[in-house]
Structure 1
Amino acid sequence: MKTILITGASSGIGEATARHFQAQGWNVIATMRSADSTGELAALDNVHLARLDVTDPASIAAAVKQGIERFGRIDVLLNNAGYGAYGALEAFSMERIRRQFDTNVIGLLEVTKSVLPHMRENRSGTIINISSIGGQITFPLGTLYHGTKFAVEGLSEALHYELEPLGIRVRIVEPGMIRTNFGGSSFDFALDDSLPDYAPTAEAMGRVFSRLASSPSAPATVAEVIWGAANDSGDRLRFRAGPDAVALLDQRHQQDDATFIGGIKELMKP
Structure 2
Amino acid sequence: MTKVVAITGASNGMGFAAAELFAKQGWIVYGGARRVEKIPTAEHIHALKLDVTDHAANQAFIEAIFRKEKRIDVLINNAGYGEYGPVEDIPLEHARRQFETNFFGAADLTQLVLPIMRAQKSGRIINISSIGGDVYMPLGAYYHATKAALQHWSDSLDIEIAPFGVRSIVVQPGGTQSAWSEIALGHARENLKPDSVYTTSVDKVSALLMANESAVSASSEDLAKVFYKAATDRHPKRRYFHALSDRAMVWLARSCPRVFKKVFVTVLNHAAKKK
Could you tell me which runs of 5 or more consecutive residues in structure 1 were left unpaired when the two chains were aligned: none
1:245 and 2:246 correspond: yes
Q: In 2, Cα distance between the equivalents of 1:181 and 1:194?
A: 26
Q: In 1, Cα distance between the equivalents of 2:10 and 2:193?
A: 35
Which residue in 2 is equivalent to 1:149? 147
1:195 offset after TM fit, Å? Answer: 4.6
The one of 31, 34, 54 aligned to 1:56: 54
**Residues 11-34 of structure 1, C-alpha deviations (whole Å, 9 max, x = no match):** 100010000000001000111113
**Residues 143-199 of structure 1, C-alpha deviations (whole Å, 9 max, x = no match):** 110010010111011111111011101110000101122134576324425353212
Q: Secondary structure at the match of 1:10?
A: coil
1:140 offset after TM fit, Å? Answer: 1.3
Q: In 1, Cα distance between the equivalents of 2:212 and 2:128?
A: 20
1:2 and 2:6 correspond: no
**Residues 227-266 of structure 1, C-alpha deviations (whole Å, 9 max, x = no match):** 111111225110012454234224334x521111000100
Q: In 2, Cα distance between the equivalents of 1:196 and 1:228?
A: 45
Alignment size in residue pairs: 266
Please, what is the CA RMSD of the aligned residues? 1.7
Q: Provide runs of 4+ in structure 1 moved above 4 Å.
A: 184-187
Q: In 2, Cα distance between the equivalents of 1:87 and 1:185?
A: 12
**Residues 74-113 of structure 1, C-alpha deviations (whole Å, 9 max, x = no match):** 1000000010011101222122111011111111101111
Task: Name the aligned partner's letter for residue 266 of structure 2.
Answer: E
Q: In 2, Cα distance between the equivalents of 1:58 and 1:52?
A: 10
TM-score (norm 2): 0.91
Q: In 2, Cα distance between the equivalents of 1:95 and 1:79?
A: 23
Which residue in 2 is equivalent to 1:201? 201
Could you tell me which runs of 5 or more consecutive residues in structure 2 were left unpaired when the two chains were aligned: none
Task: Name the aligned partner's letter for residue 206 of structure 2.
Answer: G
Which residue in 2 is equivalent to 1:221? 222
Q: Which moved more, 1:83-92 or 1:208-217?
A: 208-217
Matches within 5 A, 1:124-135: 124-135=122-133
1:35 offset after TM fit, Å? Answer: 3.0
Q: Is the 8 A contact 2:181 2:209 kept in 1?
A: no
Q: Secondary structure at the match of 2:241?
A: strand
Q: Secondary structure at the match of 2:215?
A: coil
1:73 offset after TM fit, Å? Answer: 1.1
**Residues 26-76 of structure 1, C-alpha deviations (whole Å, 9 max, x = no match):** 0001111133333xx23x111111111101111111111111222221100
Which residue in 2 is equivalent to 1:163? 161
Which residue in 1 is equivalent to 2:72? 74
